[in-house]
Chains A and B, each alone.
Chain A
Amino acid sequence: MSEARDGHPLDGGVRAIAEAVRSGEATAVGIVEEAFRRIRESDTELHCFNLLTEEAALEAAASVDESVARGIDPGALAGVPVALKDNLCTKGTETTCSSKILQGWKPPYDATVVSRLRAAGAIAVGKTNLDEFAMGSSTENSAFGPTRNPWDVTRVPGGSSGGSSAAVAAGLVATSLGSDTGGSIRQPASLCGVVGIKPTYGLVSRYGLIAFASSLDQIGTFAVEVGDAAATLEVIAGHDPADSTSLGQPAPSLLDRLFDGVEGLRVGLISDFLADVAAPCSKAADDAGEALARAGAKVEQVSIPEMLLGLPAYYIIAPAEASSNLARYDGVRYGLRVDGPDVETMNARTRAEGFGPEVRRRIMIGTYALSSGYYDAYYGQAQKARTLVIRAFEAAYERFDVLLAPTTPSTAFKLGAKTANPIEMYLSDLCTIPSNLSGHPAVSVPFALDPDGLPVGVQVLAPALGEALMLRVAATVEAFASPSARGPVRPRPTGGEVEPGG
């Protein structure tokens, strides 16, 4: 545990907080009050949160403390403050997807992941900012203004789960949930110096996650350390009858063998991204490979050229699915309505007014790719490219237990640097997208700092349901990482030297 994390019990991380609360060493109320004190201090500048639920959080914390006093086990995440991406439904609490079209909407039910967190004693403190409908890589596409990176507030936190990653990086909460459709957990985790896990498609229920691209979307977790992100994942994973795409398995045990090491494991270092990735990012992946070799793994470079089909295939498939999923925002049953003389004009005005430019762009791309005459050339071809990506992964996993790659092509970029050119922004997801197409798990682990003092993550990828092994490798990478490369940090106004905070 680094020096940054030995101050308030809130800095102990998910497992230590739960242990302290369950044993009566610390109170949930004390921890949650500290979380809100920090949020008040920092969030005006950072804008991690769209909405705070302080009253409900303090009530829930008091009830956890009462359970402890009565000798009742309050659960595996007792008193752990958690932030929820604002595309996860919370009963009676506004859920916006950072979109004007849903502003003010209060869902009539909780997402399954939210119910599971509450049942485990975790305390939801608020809803975090995102790129509108999770479409973006910088959180600048939010209708409510961008989130800022706590390592340097002139830079983006990544996206789309930028509020959730920045809240953990700034030490405002111990853990948070995000969703990852093309890298929306791993990319912001890398840019904010925290751990971000995208589990196997179907391991975590998507019931109550507002859909973007249904064959790619998956909910996952953020924390400062691998073990803490895994502890939150254990609670939210497992079959849910309310999600027909949820796998039959119960939640896997992810912590039992976390520190068993990597002796004898075969690790493939994917070489195909190198041409498109900045030197500090490819160097971090190389160095992580060397570290794993020192720890006893057999590390080899591997070329999987199909990885480079991922990005173009994704930018057909994801918008196509989005154009269909977002057809429901029509001004009839919920959300914004802009009136018109007939229903079609009302629909079209509502959607033009309610959706921001990136969402409109994706709906247009997707509608075009699915339209008569273009379906086979674009959507059909992209689905076949997806098959090639999956086959390439399967072939690689015959030779390797896990794969290693950079998480992102660059470290955190300046606010506004890529907003004028959508395609340049799309390239941010180059290294993360293939795992969404294949449905396989992947995790980003903070590993080093670039010459500007910004964190650089590396990605560990595993075959379907390989989370336990993947996280074991990630924990080994973490053990060799520079401790200064991870949060929490105190927000810095001018982008100068960053000192560990906490």
Chain B
Amino acid sequence: MTSSAARISLDEVRHVARLARLELTEDEIATLQGELSALLDHVDKVRRLDTADIPPTAHPLPLENVLRPDEVQPCLDRDVVLAAAPAVESDRFLVPSILGDAP
């Protein structure tokens, strides 16, 4: 798939993997470079389409806001929700450090 490799660089693949929060090996990045380039070739027909005056469609239904009366309704029990979490402390989801070392 080297013929289409020019469509996306290895650095771009690394950047996209970072945006997508995927820790990939260098081998996986190289494979994805080929596969993404081939896919971008395939969809080039859409990229080159003359779409002047064509509005975009985000959704097949003409959606409007759906509202209900602002009344308290039963919701999931906290214990049920927390039971599914990988780590919990003091009724909260527990995660590793967000801002580096704790002060």
Contact = CB atoms under 8 A, between A and B. Distances in A.
A378 B43 contact: yes
B47 A323 contact: no
B85 A333 contact: yes
A331 to B, nearest CB: 6
**B16, B36, B58, B80 — which one has the most chain A CB atoms within 10 A of its CB?**
B16
A215 interface: yes
Contacts of B51: 381, 384-385, 388
A92 to B, nearest CB: 10
B59 A342 contact: no
B72 interface: no
A397 interface: no
Interface string A356-369: 00001101110110
Interface string A370-384: 010000011011111
B46 A387 contact: no
A334 interface: yes
A339 B46 contact: no
Interface string B48-84: 0101001111111101001010000000110011001
A244 B67 CA distance: 9
A438 B24 CA distance: 35
Contacts of B84: 105-106, 108, 333-335
A383 B56 contact: yes
A498 interface: no
A337 interface: yes
B6 interface: no
Nearest to A346: B96
A245 interface: yes
A349 B77 CA distance: 30
B87 to A, nearest CB: 7
B56 A323 contact: no
Contacts, number: 160
A72 interface: no
Interface of B is mostly: loop
B23 interface: yes
Given A245-B63, A247-B61, A312-B43, A387 B86 contact: no
A330 interface: yes
A343 B96 contact: yes
Contacts of B56: 380, 383-384, 386-387
Nearest to B80: A108
Contacts of A323: 20
A245 B51 CA distance: 28
A367 B20 contact: yes
Interface string A313-351: 101100000010001001111111101111111111101
- In this complex, the interface size class of chain B, counting residues with CB under 8 Å from chain A, is 35 or more
A439 interface: yes
A351 B21 contact: yes
Contacts of B16: 364, 367-368, 371
A275 to B, nearest CB: 15
A386 to B, nearest CB: 4
Nearest to B66: A244
B54 A388 contact: yes
Contacts of B19: 367, 371
Contacts of A348: 18, 21-23
Given A382-B46, A388-B49, A422-B38, 4 more contacts: A343-B96, A348-B23, A349-B23, A368-B12
Interface of A: 105-106, 108-109, 201-202, 215, 241, 244-245, 247, 309, 312-313, 315-316, 323, 327, 330-337, 339-349, 351-352, 355, 360-361, 363-365, 367-368, 371, 377-378, 380-388, 390, 422-423, 426, 437-439
25 contacts: A108-B80, A109-B76, A201-B61, A309-B45, A309-B46, A312-B42, A327-B21, A331-B86, A333-B81, A335-B86, A342-B98, A343-B97, A343-B98, A352-B22, A352-B23, A364-B17, A364-B36, A368-B12, A371-B19, A384-B51, A384-B54, A385-B49, A386-B57, A390-B60, A423-B39
Q: Which 9 pairs, one residue from A and one from B, show the smallest C-beta to C-beta distance? A: A439-B60, A383-B56, A337-B86, A348-B23, A384-B51, A244-B66, A312-B43, A334-B84, A367-B20
